[in-house]
Chain A
């Protein structure tokens, strides 16, 4: 690597790598250089002229945002000329600015206000009439007020370069220049709101937040988005116990500044009028409101009866089935399975599995145990990638799925890698997914052809033949193309492979085996659907696995938990989700306990859960809740604390943003139910549960400092027992949510419901 350049700024000797922009070098040294249009990671504009500095031997002031540092350069950032230039720019900028700060959403957190405060020009010499144009609404969530716009083009770039959506542009010229949406007067885009977030002034405002608060009245709560599996950190703006906004302006956490529409606006299901706020008990076939006490006692009475019958051996059917959630916290999931296994004494516990995490963990454990050839055993970190690694890896392979719609953060990171770090992106897909625009190599396959493609990668001749020929999208796949694809991929030394539900069980094992034969390090990300799918699997919401994928049949593993819990755990694997439903339908299950899940959606025998006593704990009256005997109103992720694990395995912390009257956190409900059954659920508090998890669950003994500070730690459940083998892979099914849907929660989010793209965004064309 080339030596650092040495140069002088304001009398200080500085150093920086060749190619570093002067503005970055100055900022790194704590020397302030103001900027509107410069934005790290986006293309250079040199438009606002705020960053002008004096450089010796150049006659004119230079823009620090476009000037790379040079050896021996002498720079001054605060001479009278520079100060005057900044003040002049601000004066010019303010000339036509409406200065409606008192009513502007941005007042108090506006970069223009801050600049004027710091660099002057508060007094205007402008005596002419200001230009006025009316505010425009571009979508249910995006508004544009042209007079406030300072034309820094950040919105245009973040939408184009960052999102690869290119929905914004500049129209007209001179003082009439303004930003315009792609359909003239309205947007057709991903509605992510990144443009609003990046706008330094109040020109772009959020339909959800506008005119609702002043920044200084707000309490900021950092938590994790509860929608997809990527686990973006979001900062909630809370005023008077209400969440008014979600953004991530401090750029902290795994997602930096990124949020998609769900993270930014999708918290609004919280206050949906359909939210259940009181427990409901079925009376004469109808669900009627009840007190918490009545509801808990009703359940306890029924369950005691079932438990008693089982103890006395008078029962034929399976006693209990438990279906957990992809949204509840790790602590809740952990306690739920503990409750199921130690109080209800059953392994009939499962959740909607959207990707086969168990298979991945097991495959990695095998690869570590049996390294290819005679290479040394590799650490788990050589197999698991963090989300941010996608932006820096030299190559990424996406097999199936559509990350742009299903994993917006992962897609954002992949695009960033392609854009800024030259990541080579390989995509294998049956559709021209949006990421295809960024690919180094795109391999079109038939619908459902992911397994075949894997066989091809593994060198199977027949599979290769099947890939050849014309594709539905009208492309021609030749033998040369296929060989080139596999050869190029075969040379990658730092590859991250993303797969989803199309590959499960044995296929995942084969994929990992193939990857570990590549010359360098190959890491994997299994893309599961919801905010804590990974946590649900890790915490043992699985019929055959204890937390950390320890097999219930493994005596040592069981003993370890039994000792810690001072009780016994059934050794027989339980029924997976669909077997439980089938058993219930056939009258072979006495009680089904469903927490934050809606298994009956799309389940055709819904009407006939028969005599099974169904308890549902949820936010809304889902299809499942509608047939329940008792419904308990639960708190959402935004209303509680705890931890969640994203699809890459990054452990992060939730913080409580607000409370919804009448509801209770699931953890609370578990301990009340246990209490009513005469068992003391311990530990009680979320923090204490986490301590137990850290002690007992493979991979979770990570330090908490970072997590508490709003960061994340990668967990690799690979330091304990041999993980369970994947069973019942037929049960692995993606929910196929889009950018604008999010299971049950999405149905009750008014923002997600309001954006027109929810219905107009079509599936990508066949590849």
Chain B
């Protein structure tokens, strides 16, 4: 179930969530469904669609926040090879579960967004690469695809326009790394999911070395409302350079965790206290991870940071996938760092030395450290190892493991020191322990 809606929400992408049979094409059609497609096919040109997208200031919701209009414009118009649209539905960043709702409750909105991408770049084939653990979503998506084919929104000569498009689902096998775009493409091609050397970027040589548009589920899902209501309308929902709304995933020690659609630039305080109802047990806030497990932790002082890409960056972290993880005063930061490192050590694809060895070493050291075997010099070592990884790995997963680790040590050094010299974890006596 989607979370209880909050009065603070501005529901653009999630407006159909909660409608009866929201995933069905009938519900979709009864609520503006495929109007954007019709408009795009009949009233607009690829250039005018691109223009609206650029005006909308839509930035990729997969993590990096790259302007979507610009990304699509990199695809060469003329290509001897077929072009592809690939939807990244691998959603595996800890703390993140928004794409899942978009697919579960409004799959047609996603299909429509993908179709519009096809129109813009002149592609006739697309894939939705779905996280292995989301197998049940494949059924929902496949049903939606079937409906769309049956009603002429997919297949040959869509809406009599002469435009053809085929869309398929494909499932991953349980690797976080396959959410990284180039590893995803390898996996989609049936190979081992390891990243590729870039350049070339997917826009030029992506799936089967052909020009490819690759975006996140939420990014594609944002496209139909932009086309229907205009780029300017969308841009004005957010802050300068950060158009629209996004689905924030609020988790951790808050009273009302959930997925909430809020305008870009909503202050962190509002999200936690107004939308989320405040901290469990009205305890003190200790730390917030603002954009999924790979983003550096913020301390309680950053509570007034507006949640848009630029402001969070200024505060020293990243908006990432929009997964906000809240930790209150009883949280053991060392334990949180360990939990996150366990994830990255498990998910490192192993291709490059610094990530493969670094995450493993850090996991081992943090495990020992947290369980009371830490030494003074380990604190520096942990920070140093993470720094040795940072910016030197083959793909950003290494950075994703390094950045939070560095931030934990730098911002909560005292907590590391509290664990020294054989003392048991000072937080464990508080009983309830919730890791990240």
Contacts and interface: CB of A to CB of B under 8 A. Distances in A.
B176 to A, nearest CB: 10
A126 B361 contact: yes
A49 B392 contact: yes
A498 interface: no
Nearest to B193: A173
A169 B192 CA distance: 10
Given A92-B358, A175-B360, A170 B192 contact: yes
Interface stretch (A40-48, A337-345, A469-477): A40-48
Contacts of B385: 92
B1 interface: no
A47 B352 contact: yes
A518 interface: no
A61 interface: yes
B388 interface: yes
Contact of B348 (A50, A128, A170, A173): A173
B365 A47 contact: no
A537 interface: no
Nearest to A178: B350
B175 A173 contact: yes
A172 B350 contact: yes
Nearest to B177: A173
B353 A92 contact: yes
Interface string B336-358: 00000000011111111110111
Contacts of B42: none
A88 B385 CA distance: 8
Q: Which of A89, A151, A175 has the most CB of B within 10 A?
A: A175
Nearest to B380: A125
Interface string B185-202: 000000010000100000
Given A61-B391, A128-B361, A128-B368, A174 B353 contact: no
A85 interface: yes
Given A127-B365, A174-B346, A175-B345, A49 B353 contact: yes
Given A46-B352, A173-B349, A174-B349, A95 B361 contact: yes
Contacts of A173: 175, 177, 347-350
A92 B192 contact: no
Contacts of A131: 360
Interface in B169-184: 175, 177
B360 A174 contact: yes
Contacts of A61: 391-392
Given A128-B365, A174-B350, A66 B357 contact: no
Contacts of B8: none
Q: Which of B175, B381, B388, B393 has the most CB of A within 10 A?
A: B388
Contacts of B351: 45, 47, 151, 177
Interface in A111-153: 125-129, 131, 150-151
B388 A88 contact: yes
Interface residues of B, number: 31
B391 A60 contact: yes
A92 B388 CA distance: 9
Nearest to A93: B353
A173 B176 CA distance: 11
B357 A46 contact: no
A85 B175 CA distance: 28
Contacts of B358: 92
Given A126-B361, A173-B175, A174-B360, A48 B353 contact: yes
A172 B348 CA distance: 10
Contacts of A89: 353-354, 392
A169 B194 CA distance: 13
B197 A46 contact: yes
B377 to A, nearest CB: 8
Given A95-B357, A128-B361, A174-B346, A46 B391 contact: no
A59 B392 CA distance: 11
Contacts of B149: none
A15 interface: no
Nearest to A91: B388
Contacts of A88: 354, 388, 392
Interface in B285-323: none
Nearest to B375: A127
A45 B196 CA distance: 8
A717 B359 CA distance: 64
Contacts of A174: 345-350, 356, 359-360
Nearest to A169: B192
Interface string B390-409: 01111000000000000000
A685 to B, nearest CB: 55
B366 to A, nearest CB: 10
A128 B350 contact: no
A44 B361 contact: no
Interface in A156-187: 169-170, 172-177
B92 to A, nearest CB: 14
A96 interface: yes
A92 B197 contact: no
A355 B368 CA distance: 70
A411 interface: no
A358 interface: no
A280 interface: no
B364 interface: yes
B357 A92 contact: yes
A52 interface: yes
A50 B351 CA distance: 13
Interface of A: 44-50, 52, 59-61, 66, 84-85, 88-89, 91-93, 95-96, 125-129, 131, 150-151, 169-170, 172-177
25 contacts: A44-B197, A46-B394, A48-B352, A49-B392, A49-B394, A50-B353, A52-B392, A84-B388, A89-B392, A91-B388, A92-B361, A92-B388, A95-B360, A95-B361, A96-B357, A125-B377, A131-B360, A170-B192, A173-B175, A174-B345, A174-B346, A174-B356, A175-B350, A175-B357, A175-B359
Given A52-B392, A169-B192, A174-B359, 15 more contacts: A47-B394, A49-B352, A49-B392, A60-B391, A66-B197, A85-B392, A88-B388, A89-B353, A89-B354, A91-B388, A151-B350, A173-B349, A174-B345, A175-B360, A177-B356
Which 9 residue pairs across A and B have the least CB separation, nearest first? A177-B350, A88-B388, A128-B364, A175-B360, A92-B357, A174-B348, A60-B391, A174-B350, A173-B350
